Each structure stands twice: as structure tokens, then as C-alpha cells.
Amino acid sequence: MTAPSFLAGAPRYLFLTGKGGVGKTSVACAAAVALARDGRSVLLVSTDPASNVGQVFGLRVGNTVTAVPAVPGLSALEINPDEAAAAYRERIVGPVRNLLPAAEVSLIEEQLSGACTTEIASFNEFTGLLSGDAAVAGFDHVVFDTAPTGHTIRLLQLPGSWTEFLNEGKGDASCLGPLAGLERQRAVYAEAVNALADAGRTRLVLVTRAQRAAVEEIERTGAELAALGMREQHVVVNAVMPLPPGGDELAVAVHGREQAVLRDLPAALRGLPADVLELKGENMVGLDAVGSLFEPGRVETAAAEHEPGPTPELPEGAEGLDALVDELAGQGHGLVMLMGKGGVGKTTVAAAVAVALAERGLPVHLTTTDPAAHLTETLAGSVANLEVSRIDPEVATRTYRETVLRTKGAALDDAGRAALEEDLRSPCTEEIAVFQAFSRAVNEARRRFVVIDTAPTGHTLLLLDATGSYHRDVVRQLGERTSLVTPMMRLQDPDLTKVVVVTLPETTPVLEAEELQVDLRRAGIEPWAWVVNNSLAAATTTDPLLRRRARNESGEIARVMERDSSRCAVIPLLATEPVGLPALRALTAAPVPAAT
């Protein structure tokens, strides 16, 4: 395996981050394998709620260090948010379970069932690894396959935020458990902050694709993490289309637009050391595939160029996005939630659906809860009947704080108001504020279409967890016979809510989408349809590399239709990026090619 430059002189901690779907897991796994094969002892850690490290190596990886038998010296660990939260709750509740009445124990467990507990529990696991935890004592390198950018920023901000909160705060930290429990972690948090800012111990690897949105994301990420002290940074541009051997229109277009992105990198990124990894014909699942990621690209056989013209390799029953829009339009109103892992094209699909519904004369509100979304840039224009907004976490949090101070704080004395203001500086306040804004959007769906471009899967599940916690709290307080309709009940109503799972026609994205579907069903929400985006099997191409990838796709699309959803739309990979109204209209203007 040819080692990329970001592994040269690698410090102990390597963090790989970037927009969801750019291949962080593949690059992290390949980096860990390369270091291990060089004789180092390596721990590969995932902090992504939608982690698939185990799928890459074909073994079960959980919340304990697990050796990878095929690679001597390599072990893996997935920080599972649910498992971490359960362990955190037990550390708090266990000592008092036999000392307090059962009703009080149940109340404590309920208070520790929300998103804030999950966040702080995962954070505790994370900081332990950075501060000399026994689990990492014997490893030369710890490679972090981090969560999508929004989670990464939040996760890396927590050490600084909570150190400051503990140093200065005396507010109510009940959403995180007893303050004494956090006080015991003070030294651990301080060491984590020091490790992140120490260039001799930590290197940040900004992983991207040669796509403008992904590049802009790592530019912002790099700046924000540099402000946190992480200034030792490298860039990896993953899955770049090599120069096509023939004149295939799609391959030439993809190669051209990617090269344009590489030539026009932002100044802040051009000054960083960088590696460019070529697109491979196979999916990055299995040791052989991962081991080839850093190798030069293999040219497909010339005979493949001269095979008969492009043949659609789609299973019977696959339809275009237009069919889904037609079915939605017949409903007249409702909530349409686009869900899936980051980087699969939720923003584009959401915008295309919203534009198509609005141009049928239906009132539509298009909004996003994704901090990394770019709806305005995607639309690049205005449409009659279409309102566009974004649930901005900072704005929502500020509004929430002002409302609480104006209402609950009005009757407090100076000391009480100061305590309330301190409590509202907790990072958990943001979760509550965003949930309230989300709930308002859900309620609008009774009178018009509300199309929500949700955040990457981890954020979405946290949001649904907050919704579910609110639902349980209301029912507990008002009783099962209450006529109140909570947001969770609206999400569970199939007549009102249509959840559309968006994925890519590749093994790992499909597996992750299936895991999301399982979680949704556990919450009482049945997905309405799936959309498979950027499909080469649905495109027109004679390029041997793209055709090889297209052949790999057909099995994944068949899997979706046979196992996951009978209602499935397939969107072809396009020669030009679907930005602007004409391109969005084209996504819903015609069906996919008929299967042969």
C-alpha cells in the first residue's frame, strides 16, 4: 500500500472529518491498515452514530476494543451512542436504585433518557480516549473516524464548552446528571482540550470529494477547528474521476467539473498539504478493497470500452422521482421528510420535490434542520407558492433563551435570574430550541406541504429522540386519554407524514439507510418511499470505470426494492450538478429508463 502524505510522521491521534458521504470511513480504515502494516499498533475509533467500521472489515465491532484478525496490530472501537448513554445512566442511577423510592428512580431515568444524555455520554467516552484512558495505553496511533461535520464540530467543542461551564457555571445541570459527576471529570476534560490543541499529538485530516459543497464544508470546518487549537491540518480529496480513456460524455463531464473544483480550491485549503485519491471501480467494503484505496488507479480493459451501448441495469419496478411527486400531489398537503446519511443528496431531492409540488399550484414550505445544508444555493431562484427557510440553531437558541427569560425569568429576583441565565448557557439548550422550531414546522403540514431536508442521520435520530421524550412527558403529565396531539404523534401518522429515505447505490450507504429504517420503525414511523440518488445504472455511459461501478449498483438497487421498499425512485448521475431551477425541474420531468 502506498502511504499518502497525511500519514508521513503521523502523530498519535489522527482525526478524519468532513461532510457526510465523502468517504471518511474508507480513508480512516485504509489509514489504520497502512499504519498497522507498517508495524504500528493502531486503534481505529468511530464516533459516528451511523458508524459502519464493522461492515468494512466484515466483523462485529461494538463499544469495546475489538481486534481485527486479518490485520495484525489493528483493533477497532465504535462509540455507540445508545450503549454509552445506557452505561452513563447506570453509573448515575445504580448507586441510588435501592436507596430511593421506585417512583423517584423512574423519574431520574426519564430525565436521563433524552438527547442531552446521549451527547454527554458519547463525549465522556471520547474524552477518555484523549486523556490517557487504559483502553488506548498500548496503541501507537488512534485513528478517529469522526461523525459528519455537524456532529464533529459539536463533539470537539464540548471539551472547551464544558470546561468553561464547570469553571464558571453554578446553574442547573440536571439534564446531564449530577453536577458532582461532571466535577470528577474536570481533569479529564482539561487533558482532552490539551491533546486536541497539541500539534505533536493531534493531526486533523479534512476529507472531501471534488464537489463545491463538500470543499466549502471542509473550509468552514478547518477554520472552526483551527479556532479550537487544531491547526495541524491536511486535506484528502477522495474518489476523483481519473482522465477517461475515451470520449464518454458523462465521464468527461464528471472529470472536468472535478478538475475545475481542484483548480479553484479556497486559499485557506491551497496552503495545506493535500492528497488526491482516485475513484475505484469497486465499493470500499472488505480488506482487499480498503487495501487498494491508496494505490494508483487500475485502468479498465480496453475491451470494456467496445461493449454494446449502455444498457440500463435497473430492476423492474424502479421509477423516476416524478412518480413520487405525482402521488404526493394527490394528497394536497402534508409533511414530507427527506432522511438519510449526509452526502447522499437530501438537499437536492428535497428542493426538487418542493419545486415540483409548488409548480403544480400547491403551497409548499421547504425548510432544513441540517446545519450543513445549502438550500438557497441549490435553488438559485424563486418559485411561486414556495417558501424557503432554515432552522438555524443559533437563531433558534437565542430566541428560546429570550423567551424563557421573558416568561419564567420575569418573576425571579436578581439571583434567580442570574441562575436561570447560567442554566440557559448549557449546550443542551440548543437541542430544546431546535426541537421547538421543528415542532412548529410539523404543525404547518395540516394546511400545506412542508418539505423538510433533515440533518445527517445521527442528528435526525437525536431530534426524533427529543420529540419522543417530549411525547412521553406530555402523556405522563396529562394522562393517556388526553386529546393533545404531540409532534411525535404527527410523525407517526402515515396520512400526514411521508418519510422518504435517500441513499446512494452503494453497499455502505444502503446498509446505513436500512439501519435508519429500523430505528424509525422502532419509533413507530414507517418510511413511505426510498430514493436512490446519483445512479450510474440509470445513466447513459460507455466509460469502462463508470460501467463497472454501474454493475455494482444493480444489486444494491434490487436489494432496496426487494427488502426495504416497494416504492423506490432512482435518480441518474447527471453530467452537470443539479443546481438551479431548470436542473431541479429535470429531476422530476421524466421517468428513469425502462429495465431490460
pLDDT tens figures, 97-141: 888 888 788 767 766 766 556 666 776 777 778 776 677 788 999
Using pLDDT thresholds of 50, 70 and 90, give the confidence band for residue 66: very high
How would you class 167 by CB atoms within 10 Å of its CB: exposed for 0-12, middle for 13-18, buried for 19 or more?
exposed
Q: What is the pTM of this model?
A: 0.74
Using pLDDT thresholds of 50, 70 and 90, give the confidence band for residue 478: low
Ranking 208-217, 381-390, 437-446, 479-488 by mean pLDDT, the lowest is: 479-488
Domains and CATH numbers, the chain: 5-294 (3.40.50.300), 321-390+448-456+482-587 (3.40.50.300)
- Cα(449)–Cα(428) distance, integer angstroms: 30
Using pLDDT thresholds of 50, 70 and 90, give the confidence band for residue 168: low
What percentage of the chain reaches a pLDDT higher than 70? Answer: 78
What percentage of the chain reaches a pLDDT higher than 90? Answer: 31
Active site residue 25: yes
How would you class 318 by CB atoms within 10 Å of its CB: exposed for 0-12, middle for 13-18, buried for 19 or more?
buried
Average pLDDT over residues 377-385: 81
Active site residue 21: yes
Average pLDDT over residues 325-339: 94
The pLDDT value recorded for residue 175 is: 41
Higher pLDDT, 287 or 261: 261
Q: Determine phi and psi for 536, rounding to 5 degrees.
A: -75, -30
Active site residue 181: no
Using pLDDT thresholds of 50, 70 and 90, give the confidence band for residue 591: low
The four Cα atoms 324, 450, 339, 485 give a dihedral, to 10 degrees, of: -110
The residue annotated as part of the active site, out of 24, 280, 341, 498, is 24
The pLDDT value recorded for residue 532 is: 95
What are 567's three cell numbers? 416504492
Which of these, 276, 270, 260, lies nearest to 23 by C-alpha position?
276
pLDDT digit string, tens, across residues 90-109: 887 888 888 888 878 876 77
Higher pLDDT, 207 or 479: 207
Average pLDDT over residues 341-367: 90
Q: Are 368 and 387 in contact (CB under 8 A)?
A: no
Using pLDDT thresholds of 50, 70 and 90, give the confidence band for residue 173: very low
Active site residue 149: no
Across the beta sheet with 42-46, the strand order is 66-67, 74-78, 42-46, 141-145, 13-17, 202-209, 233-240, 274-278
The yes-or-no verdict on residue 225 having pLDDT over 70 is yes
The residue annotated as part of the active site, out of 18, 19, 20, 48, is 48
The yes-or-no verdict on residue 553 having pLDDT over 60 is yes
Q: Locate cell 436489494: which residue? A: 559
Using pLDDT thresholds of 50, 70 and 90, give the confidence band for residue 448: very high
User: What is the three-class DSSP state of 59?
Assistant: coil
Strand partners, 42: 74, 141
Q: Which helix (H) or strand (E) holds 338?
A: strand 334-339
Using pLDDT thresholds of 50, 70 and 90, give the confidence band for residue 334: very high
The yes-or-no verdict on residue 323 having pLDDT over 70 is yes
User: What is the three-class DSSP state of 558?
Assistant: helix
Average pLDDT over residues 10-23: 87
What does the radius of gyration of the chain's CA atoms come to, in whole angstroms?
A: 24
pLDDT digit string, tens, across residues 180-196: 345 556 677 677 778 88
Which of these, 527, 536, 593, lies nearest to 560 by C-alpha position?
527
Helices (H) and strands (E) in the chain, counts: 24, 15
Which of these, 129, 144, 125, 123, lies nearest to 10 by C-alpha position?
144
The residue annotated as part of the active site, out of 18, 19, 26, 280, is 26
* Residue 349 backbone zone (phi > 0: left; psi -120 to 50: alpha; other: beta): alpha
* Mean pLDDT value across the chain: 80
